[in-house]
Chains A and B, each alone.
Chain A
Amino acid sequence: MSEGKLTVEQLTVFVENRPGRSSVITNILAENNINLVSFNIADTSEFGLIRFITDDPERAKVVLKENKIATRSTEILVVELAHKVGGLAKVLNIFKENNINIAYLYAFVGNKPDKAVVGIKVENTAESIEKLKASELTLLSLKDLL
């Protein structure tokens, strides 16, 4: 567990819903030797929001901006949970019990074989951190994901 920051910087890019738009982002990152830690697309019928975590958010913002792509930076919670039956249920029950609304959630690959990792955006980050810690769940920092 990291001692310092308990949230991870996620970037969001707006894309129109047509072929090839997501690969524009991934190609720019690849060409600049920036590694993706997570990648998630939220879609509507007309547009999508690509949300991702990279190993170097500052440089990712710069290279995307150079390519005229606007980004939005958001701090999200990244929770490590047991990769077994009921692992995610345990996490979600904490939010339910404390009446905290989840804006979105997506799972991605962590670097421990027996653990699963989920990125969560909630309405009340500070309260969520407190409750998750009280339930002995591990919040990861970017460093923990590399």
Chain B
Amino acid sequence: MIYWSPSECMDPEARLGYQSELLRKQVKYAYENVPMYKKKFDEKGLKPEDIKGLEDLKHVPFTVKDDFRENYPFGIFAVPMDRIVRFHASSGTTGKPVVVGYTENDLEMWAECMARTLAAGGVTKDDIVQVTYGYGLFTGGFGAHGGSQKIGSATIPMSSGNTKKQVMIMQDFGATALCCTPSYCLQIIETAASMGIDPKTLPVKKCFLGAEPWTEAMRKEIESRFDVKAYNIFGLTEVLGPGVSFDCKYQNGMHINEDFFYPEIIDPNTLEPLPDGEIGELVFTALTKEGVPVLRYRTKDITSIIKEPCPCGRTGRRMDRILGRSDDMLIIRGVNVFPNQIEEILINIEGVEPTYQIIIDRENSVSDNFEIMVEVSENVLTDEIKAMENLKNRILSEIHSVIGLHPKIRLVEPFTIERSAGKARRVIDKRELYTR
């Protein structure tokens, strides 16, 4: 099967009319069912009927991550709870997660999007799909699972972690497709090798990698060491989860499921829409979502839209690799981390001054090394090792409880963190994720 659904090849002109129709309905739906959208429209003196089609989309107010935080947990939900059948969530800026709810129809649409994603990489009902994204509030596991199940593939719901067991199951069950983050894919390759198994002899032939930025160099490395095709997949909790866009076999940009998500690229400074081909911030409007409608969600991801037709025949416009962020969000081991979160945690530990530096690298091509250096100020210095170790452990546990990761905490001498214009440099990211 080349395409999962004929809608993937819809005539682009006809699609514009279809999208305009959906947009009109969705704007009205959001306005009438979510007080936040009504307020945003009213403040601009805008009526839902002013939005007559895609040409008016530029007038619609933006939605941002903070809107989710301020309306935590269910403020953006457009339906009563009896219609919600699933929750998912991702980390927010201040410890409160972004919460989304899905209706039955939303889950059906999501499964459709992920089925298209997997089918584009050649997955059929004959495949055995190992889903190594986490199952839980994170959208990755259940998202990939839904698509695999819709295709009718034999799905292994492995979730993340226990890499040796991942390799064993992969080998024993004969998994032909793998869904995970690109860094975890590399870790699986490393682990197989350390177990004396040549990764090339493993049955996996296609990988669906996403949830964090990665590079063409990483793709080449994975494809050559694992003997697979590595497909880039894209999505975000606020908009859907995985399945917003995906690589086809040409691997030359990710096709957006345009019948469900209308993309725009805006100038992050002027907020004006930019024509296809120009680099700016990616914005999505979900055209059919019922549980949590999103209008013009600013992803903060920097990329461009490729308008040239793709030889695969899909007409959904493609988005390029993510080239960077328009905010300071870091994606570490698939988890969204804001330096401000770290700062807030440190400030709240008595005596600790928020002079810190986050260092991330991916040395030896395995999962991200995540280290936080914290200066030992006069206020926290003691004469006992035990007390210093306690401080270190306390910082670690507070950070873990908020962001769910275990960074290495390194206590350093005062005034040793590099400062520019008096302010410490907060982040050193050595991963070079955004080079192409």
A47 to B411, CA, bound (A): 7
Residues of B within 8 A of A16 (CB): 412-413, 416
* Shortest Cβ distance from residue A42 to the other chain B in the assembled complex, whole angstroms: 5
Nearest CB in chain B to that of A10: its residue: B383
Tell me if B413 and A49 are in contact (CB < 8 A): no
Residues of A within 8 A of B388 (CB): 14, 44, 47, 49
Residues of B within 8 A of A49 (CB): 382-385, 388
Residues of A within 8 A of B377 (CB): 70
Residues of A within 8 A of B415 (CB): 68
* Shortest Cβ distance from residue B236 to the other chain A in the assembled complex, whole angstroms: 37
Q: Answer whether A70 and B385 are a contact pair too, CB < 8 Å, given A14-B411, A47-B411.
A: no
> Which positions 179-207 of chain B face chain A at CB distance < 8 Å?
none
A103 to B390, CA, bound (A): 14
Tell me if B414 and A12 are in contact (CB < 8 A): no
Residues of B within 8 A of A44 (CB): 385, 388-389
Tell me if B385 and A68 are in contact (CB < 8 A): no
A70 to B351, CA, bound (A): 14
Contact with A along B389-420 (1 / 0, CB 8 A): 10000000000000000000011111110000
Query: How many residues belonging to B are interface residues under a CB distance threshold of 8 Å?
Result: 18
Tell me if A103 and B384 are in contact (CB < 8 A): yes
> Which positions 2-45 of chain A face chain B at CB distance < 8 Å?
10, 12-16, 21, 42, 44
Please tell me if B49 contacts chain A, counting CB pairs below 8 Å. Answer: no
Contact with A along B40-80 (1 / 0, CB 8 A): 00000000000000000000000000000000000000000
* Shortest Cβ distance from residue B26 to the other chain A in the assembled complex, whole angstroms: 54
* Shortest Cβ distance from residue A128 to the other chain B in the assembled complex, whole angstroms: 16
Please tell me if B126 contacts chain A, counting CB pairs below 8 Å. Answer: no
* Shortest Cβ distance from residue A61 to the other chain B in the assembled complex, whole angstroms: 10
A125 to B346, CA, bound (A): 32
Picked from B386, B389, B410, B413, the residue with its CB within 8 Å of the CB of A14 is B413
Residues of B within 8 A of A70 (CB): 376-378, 381, 414
Tell me if A121 and B383 are in contact (CB < 8 A): yes
A121 to B414, CA, bound (A): 25
Contact with B along A72-86 (1 / 0, CB 8 A): 101000000000000
> Which positions 71-121 of chain A face chain B at CB distance < 8 Å?
71-72, 74, 103-104, 121
List the count of A-B residue pairs having beta carbons below 8 Å apart. Answer: 55
Among A13, A21, A44, A46, which residue has the most Cβ atoms of chain B within 10 A? A46
Q: Answer whether A72 and B413 are a contact pair too, CB < 8 Å, given A14-B376, A49-B388.
A: no
Residues of A within 8 A of B414 (CB): 14, 68-70
Residues of A within 8 A of B411 (CB): 14, 46-47
Residues of A within 8 A of B410 (CB): 46
A14 to B377, CA, bound (A): 9
Residues of B within 8 A of A15 (CB): 413
A104 to B387, CA, bound (A): 12
Q: Answer whether A72 and B412 are a contact pair too, CB < 8 Å, given A14-B388, A49-B388, A103-B386.
A: no
Nearest CB in chain B to that of A13: its residue: B381
Residues of A within 8 A of B385 (CB): 42, 44, 49, 104
* Shortest Cβ distance from residue B128 to the other chain A in the assembled complex, whole angstroms: 44
A15 to B416, CA, bound (A): 11
Residues of B within 8 A of A13 (CB): 381
Tell me if B378 and A51 are in contact (CB < 8 A): no
Tell me if B389 and A72 are in contact (CB < 8 A): no
* Shortest Cβ distance from residue B379 to the other chain A in the assembled complex, whole angstroms: 9
Picked from B382, B389, B416, the residue with its CB within 8 Å of the CB of A12 is B382
A44 to B381, CA, bound (A): 15
Tell me if A12 and B412 are in contact (CB < 8 A): no
A70 to B383, CA, bound (A): 12
Residues of A within 8 A of B412 (CB): 16, 47
Residues of A within 8 A of B384 (CB): 49, 103-104, 121
Among A12, A14, A121, which residue has the most Cβ atoms of chain B within 10 A? A14
Q: Answer whether A14 and B381 are a contact pair too, CB < 8 Å, given A46-B410, A70-B414.
A: yes
* Shortest Cβ distance from residue A101 to the other chain B in the assembled complex, whole angstroms: 11
A45 to B416, CA, bound (A): 19
Q: Answer whether A74 and B376 are a contact pair too, CB < 8 Å, given A44-B389, A68-B415, A69-B414.
A: no
A69 to B414, CA, bound (A): 7
A74 to B388, CA, bound (A): 15
Nearest CB in chain A to that of B385: its residue: A42
Q: List 10 other contacts, CB 8 Å, given A14-B414, A21-B413, A49-B384.
A: A14-B388, A42-B385, A44-B389, A46-B410, A47-B388, A47-B412, A49-B388, A68-B415, A103-B386, A104-B384
Residues of A participating in the B interface, judged by any CB pair closer than 8 Å:
10, 12-16, 21, 42, 44, 46-47, 49, 51, 68-72, 74, 103-104, 121
Query: What would be 24 A-B contacts, judged by CB atoms less than 8 Å apart?
Result: A10-B383, A12-B381, A12-B382, A12-B383, A14-B376, A14-B381, A14-B388, A14-B411, A14-B413, A15-B413, A16-B412, A44-B388, A46-B411, A47-B388, A47-B412, A49-B388, A51-B383, A69-B413, A70-B414, A71-B381, A72-B381, A104-B384, A104-B385, A121-B384
The 5 nearest A-B residue pairs measured at CB: A12-B383, A70-B378, A72-B381, A74-B383, A14-B376
